[in-house]
Amino acid sequence: MTETIRPLDPVRPAELIAAFALEEAATRQEIGWLNYPALPRLWQAAGDVGGDAQQVLGAFDGTTLVGLAVISRRADGGGHIDRVAVDPAQQRRGWGRRLLAHLLAREPALSIDTATANLAACSLYRHMGFVEQRRWSTPDGLELVRFDHRLALGGDGRLVGVTQCVSPNCDARPGGEPPTLLVVHNISLPPFEYGGDAIERLFTNRIDPSASPFFASIAQLRVSSHFLIRRDGELMQFVSVFDRAWHAGVSHYDGRERCNDFSVGVELEGCDFEPFSEAQYRSLIGLTAALSDSLPLTALVGHQDIAPGRKTDPGAFFDWARVRAATGLPG
């Protein structure tokens, strides 16, 4: 059977009915664990599934819905997990862990609340890198805890919990100096097509020249980037930020040549001719915040800015005002 995690389809009533039934069953089970009959339901009827302020992801084993994750948006732009629920008949098969891993790959800032007495949930969240922030009690005495998750850079220059696809196309930074510049690119392979694994294959020297005439023209390239952000916000890392990725080529910034020496490269899956997704902006802003915690970043620019006349990415549709306001980094 094929395992899939995807948004529920609002035009498929059967999926909404199945989601409501699963959440009801999981809630009844949790009421029993906690001995707390007042535990609130997420929805009152199948028609409530996926209200305007919520995104509902389903985990499917083949065509069978076996788990749910429900996310709402916080005022600061981060995500709050309103519910992670697994069909009681499907528990202890790793579905909760897979749902959380899916979310963490696409949401750089997440929070979740649970009862302190739900020991299994608290243990899972801590194992997945969530950190306890605060505790409080309901008027009738149920103790609750909030966990937060934020991207963090490990001592090896790789983000903790982010999908790693190691590229050989890198080398040491001259003098070992830390990067101070963040460079935004866009990429699509084949051009103007999204999805698939061609970008990972390009950055790891495994692209198949017979798969596309365009691939044949680039198969000899040896290029990489530190990070890739997919259209759905998924973040992947190819090169440690302490190493030099081969992303900028002939370039200059603020009187210095060879921007690869002192920059971090971030590829957005996209092109010059259409907007980037909301999820991509959230991931980019979260990534920049995590890098800024550990690196002396002083500026954020586009490839077009450091290689004018040669490069045009990320292009006219990139929302510089939003990113600069959120990150505080000038150009």
Rounded distance between C-alpha atoms, residue 181 and residue 329, angstroms? 10
Token pair 């045009």 is found at: 312
DSSP string, 83-128: EEEE-GGGTTSSHHHHHHHHHHTT-SEEEEEEETT-HHHHHHHHHT
Assign 140 to helix, strand or coil.
Answer: coil
Catalytic residue at 267?
A: yes
Q: How would you classify residue 10: left for phi > 0, otherwise alpha for psi between -120 and 50, otherwise beta?
A: alpha
Give Cα separations from 274 to 157, 225, 243, 291 (angstroms): 32, 22, 32, 27
CA dist 129 and 290 (Å) reads 14
User: 3-class DSSP state for residue 229?
Assistant: strand
Burial status of residue 91 (CB atoms within 10 A of its CB: 0-12, 13-18, 19 or more) = middle
Residue 228 phi, psi dihedral angles, 5° rounding: -130, 135
Question: Which of these is catalytic: 107, 234, 267, 269?
Answer: 267
d(Cα 221, Cα 24) in Å, to the nearest integer?
53
What residues are annotated to the active site? Answer: 267
